[in-house]
Structure 1
Amino acid sequence: MDVSCDLEVDVNGEEIFMVDKKVVCSYSGKINKLFGKSKRGTRYLKVIFHDFPGGAESFEIITRFCYNKGKIEINPVNVSTLYCAASYMEMEKSVSGNENLFELTEKSLEDIRYWTWSELLDALRLCQNLMPVASSSGVIDKYLDSLIGRVASSCETSPCPSTSSADSSGLRLSCDSKSTESLRNSVFRATWWFEDLAAFEPFLIETLVKQMVTKNLDHGILSKFLFYYQKARFSVAKTMDEKCKTMETVIEMLYLLDLSCISFKTLFGMLRVTLNLKISKCSRNELESMIGSQLDQASLDNLLLPSPVGSSYLYDVNLVLRLLKSFISKGVCCIPLTRLRKVASLMDLYIAEVAPDPCLKPSKFLALVRVLPESARDSFDAIYHATVMYLEVHSGLSEEEKMKVCSGLNYEKLSSGACRHLAQNKKFPLKSAGQALITQQVKLKNLLQETNQASPYLDSPCSFVDTENPGNEDQQIVLYAGKLDLSTENEKLKEHLQGMQWRVLELEKACRKMQNQMAKMLKSRVSSHNSARSLPRLCS
């Protein structure tokens, strides 16, 4: 055969080949379209390929196939390269009746079920260098279908010959009994493939996991694999970009899984890792959404994350606020009260921890208090004590700013002790102290009324007058104490009524004491401020 080198082929800038145009055209539909009608002997024919799958080495194999009259040995080692190159060169159509390389490789791929596990892994690794043709041609899907089928069946049968072993899998379980041996075998059957697949690039893992989800593989196993993959890739990553890409892929795939199957502790571990990475905003939002939806499982240590570099405050309060908003994003009515109160208790601890931060702004402190509805807390005593710490550290706040900080308190849910403490605390604004006292007095009056209504034996009214402030009719407390006929009652009922009467007397004393203390405090504050500020009207 008359062979000439009349076609110059530049392959991805790696190497230049001089080939016979007629020979290559007889097998390649792409070359035939470009130069099939050009006359032989035409000089300076040249083609440049920028994305030839497999590069110069792959093109050389194709030329050997063409010069060898369509004869080539096809095996698991080279079938991926031949399949992708044949697809790129449009060799799926017979030209001049010659051998069809695309059909030959497709026929070879039909035997993929007979390949060993190692051969399948090698073929997939090779495909990573044949992108994007490997993806568009469908060869990767063929390999992944076979791989997923073997992984899915591994719970019932032993895995195919593999580079993995019990020792290399990282499992160290005791085999002292049949039960532990059975557990070891079950765990091994579920995770034996982790190490082998951890070497794949993120884009391949993304395709793999998506197909596994479609085929309903166990989400718990998939989440464990993704965590394993992230750690394995980080240990060998050379650049921050590689780590970011790995983390983004893992987060995106975890977001597809059932949250109940994902380790919450590990998610928080990933969150700490991302603090030093510049991952995409979308990935960060997905991770925070997964954590926020399960925030009732968190601990205080989980939330005490350092603030971003360049920030003045100690802890990342903005991150915690985002997690809280994610927790209640579906509506408070959709969250069980037990979960809501558990998060509220956690937030009480967190607010107390961040309150002493001198750089924490009043708006951020108030946002932490108000982000959860008031129904989430039975008591606001913890919030009050955190507010005390905040005002002590931020002594330079204006009266208006102090009132803003105190606006997060629910005075009706403060205990008597907290109200008394607030009324005497000069760090708090006068208006806040007045509100606390008014609320406490109303609670005392309501309690007295409930006590009176609860006893059917109190039938004649008598009034108790505050002897320390005679003539002040607004500070009278009316009690109902009648003649008690206990002749037909047993001793248990008698003790109950006596206890109730003692409780009423104690409440009277507490009310009088609070009124006197509040009056003295208001007088001292007015004189110290030397102003004609109007004070809140206190009701008895």
Structure 2
Amino acid sequence: MTEEFVQKNLEARTEAYLKDTLASGLLKLDHNFPMKTMPNIEPETPSDWWGKSLSVLNLEFFQRVLTAVKSKGLKQDMISKILINYTHNSLQGLVIRDPHIVRGSLLDMELQKKQRVIVEAMVSLLPTQSRRSSVPMAFLSSLLKTAIASSASTSCRSDLERRIGLQLDQAILEDILIPANSYGNNHGTMYDTESILRIFSIFLNLDDDDDEDNRMRDESEMAYDFDSPGSPKQSSILKVSKLLDTYLAEIALDTNLLPSKFIALAELLPDHARIISDGLYRSVDIFLKVHPNIKDSERYRLCKTIDCQKLSQEACSHAAQNERLPVQMAVQVLYFEQIRLRNAMNGGHNQIFFGTINSQFPQRSSSGAGSGAISPRDNYASVRRENRELKLEVARMRMRLTDLEKDHVSMKQELVRSHPANKIFKSFTKKLSKQLNSLFRINNLKPIGSKPNAESRFLFQRRRRHSIS
């Protein structure tokens, strides 16, 4: 059996087999071992993973088991996987409602109570909060949606909102489209905008806290953090701003959404969070189209959130012809377009506005390699053509203002005419004129074709001669 008799005997073959089996089995064991030697290899969860067996436990015993293994130093990603698996199996038959169940009935209230107990228990067992948490964003979003639908406690919802706000730059649109609770929804809105407002506020407050922590850095690091578009901090802010613009465009289609809630979300981000405002302009335009009866003050406040200096040329052209926008904004858009054309004619040396946007978006600037490919004559001709178009737009705006003034005057006249006292006076004068006409007809009644008498002709001639003389 040993190598003393012949090579590759049973002992050597058994040892080789055990080495191969052990090496392949180590990768599929419990994933608590830190894989420092293989950082790019993610362990796969086998079908007979021990964490799946915990889903058969009741909620109280599951909490005790998971608390015990957490105290033994179980990794946070393993805890997240166990919680996701248990929550999926526990809520699978509760979240999908039976259409025959009447809302507000005893059975419906019992289902909500079960959901609420499970969600609050899962939130209490989540790993510690951090900006790079091991809990997936989709799982946190589903927990928050279930917590709102089941009327969970305020502390539970606040915990989930803070966790989502910590890693909001990893979210997508489906993660923040949270349906509103139908029980406490008096306006009949589709989405819960108040929770989203708190989530974005948490992210912005964390950003401010980071600014306080980074005050002790040197100026070069501060310039990288704030000014560089490739820095992690700036890239996360840009992701969140795009996410908010997409969310605003989605909720703008809700006809029951109050303008005050939409305006609060539109005014939330600071000015430096958006490099270009086309997404915000699109969402505002959709909201104004869906809500045509919005007040003028709310319309002006909503359009005030759009920075006209950060609109692209296509957005400026659309805004100049958009009748849903206030006249002040259209004039402001035309003004900034005129300044941009003037800078283009001057060779791009006067950077009055756009700041660093021209360097980040070469297609919107007039200097650099983009302008070098076009001859000065062609560039001047295109600028003159755009200038003529802008003049036409200004003329159209003036015509619109004139029409509005005429409509205003006509409306005032109609209001004056429709006044009750004016109606009485008008009827009185009409009756008086009829009586006077009847009197004149009785005194001066003559047959048709008869000639005027000499006296009347004489009086007329005398009056005429007197008037001439």
TM bucket normalised to smaller: 0.5 to 0.7
Normalized per residue, which structure has more strand? 1
Q: Indicate which of 263, 268, 273 corresponds to 2:146.
A: 273
Distance, in Å, in 1 between the alignment partners of 2:242 and 2:115 is: 36
Q: Indicate which of 48, 67, 81 corresponds to 1:224.
A: 81
Indicate the residue corresponding to 2:123 in structure 1.
Answer: 251
1:503/1:179 CA distance change after superposition, 3 Å: farther
Distance, in Å, in 1 between the alignment partners of 2:262 and 2:85 is: 38
1:437/1:257 CA distance change after superposition, 3 Å: closer
CA contact (8 A) 2:179 2:192 kept: yes
Cα displacement (A) at 1:242? 4.0
CA contact (8 A) 2:245 2:279 kept: yes
Cα displacement (A) at 1:505? 3.1
Structure 2, unmatched stretches of 5+, are 1-20, 31-44, 95-109, 212-231, 352-368, 410-469
Answering whether residue 380 of structure 2 is matched by residue 508 of structure 1, we say: no
CA deviation vs aligned residue, 1:315-369 (integer Å, no higher than 9, x gap): 2222222221122221256571111111211222221122122222222222222
Distance, in Å, in 1 between the alignment partners of 2:395 and 2:198 is: 44
1:233/1:518 CA distance change after superposition, 3 Å: same
Indicate the residue corresponding to 1:444 in structure 2.
Answer: 341
Indicate the residue corresponding to 2:299 in structure 1.
Answer: 402
Answering whether residue 193 of structure 2 is matched by residue 317 of structure 1, we say: yes
Q: Indicate which of 281, 301, 317 corresponds to 1:384.
A: 281
TM-score, normalised with respect to structure 1:
0.52
Normalized per residue, which structure has more helix? 2
Distance, in Å, in 2 between the alignment partners of 1:191 and 1:329 is: 40
Q: Indicate which of 501, 518, 525 corresponds to 2:401.
A: 525
Indicate the residue corresponding to 1:283 in structure 2.
Answer: 156
Structure 1, unmatched stretches of 5+, are 1-176, 455-492, 533-540
User: For residue 409 of structure 1, what is the amino acid of its counterpart?
Assistant: I
Q: Indicate which of 23, 47, 53 corresponds to 1:195.
A: 53
Answering whether residue 167 of structure 2 is matched by residue 294 of structure 1, we say: yes
1:234/1:520 CA distance change after superposition, 3 Å: closer
Distance, in Å, in 2 between the alignment partners of 1:387 and 1:241 is: 39
The secondary structure found in structure 1 opposite 2:149 is coil
Instruction: Give 1:28-39 correspondences, 5 Å limit.
Output: none
Distance, in Å, in 2 between the alignment partners of 1:236 and 1:337 is: 42
Distance, in Å, in 1 between the alignment partners of 2:46 and 2:161 is: 32
Indicate the residue corresponding to 2:428 in structure 1.
Answer: none
Distance, in Å, in 2 between the alignment partners of 1:200 and 1:453 is: 71
Indicate the residue corresponding to 1:241 in structure 2.
Answer: 113
Distance, in Å, in 2 between the alignment partners of 1:266 and 1:248 is: 14
CA contact (8 A) 1:420 1:514 kept: no
Instruction: Give 1:138-153 correspondences, 5 Å limit.
Output: none
User: For residue 356 of structure 1, what is the amino acid of its counterpart?
Assistant: L
CA contact (8 A) 2:345 2:380 kept: yes
1:453/1:522 CA distance change after superposition, 3 Å: closer
Distance, in Å, in 2 between the alignment partners of 1:273 and 1:519 is: 55
1:497/1:254 CA distance change after superposition, 3 Å: closer
Distance, in Å, in 2 between the alignment partners of 1:257 and 1:210 is: 17
Q: Indicate which of 413, 417, 420 corresponds to 2:314.
A: 417
| Cα RMSD (Å) | 3.3
CA contact (8 A) 2:115 2:146 kept: no
Answering whether residue 165 of structure 2 is matched by residue 307 of structure 1, we say: no
The secondary structure found in structure 2 opposite 1:451 is coil
CA deviation vs aligned residue, 1:288-309 (integer Å, no higher than 9, x gap): 1111221222222222232220
User: For residue 331 of structure 1, what is the amino acid of its counterpart?
Assistant: D
CA contact (8 A) 1:219 1:257 kept: no
Distance, in Å, in 1 between the alignment partners of 2:270 and 2:372 is: 38
Cα displacement (A) at 1:499? 2.2
Indicate the residue corresponding to 1:341 in structure 2.
Answer: 238
CA contact (8 A) 1:296 1:339 kept: yes
Distance, in Å, in 1 between the alignment partners of 2:302 and 2:197 is: 17
The secondary structure found in structure 2 opposite 1:336 is helix
Distance, in Å, in 2 between the alignment partners of 1:346 and 1:337 is: 14
User: For residue 440 of structure 1, what is the amino acid of its counterpart?
Assistant: E
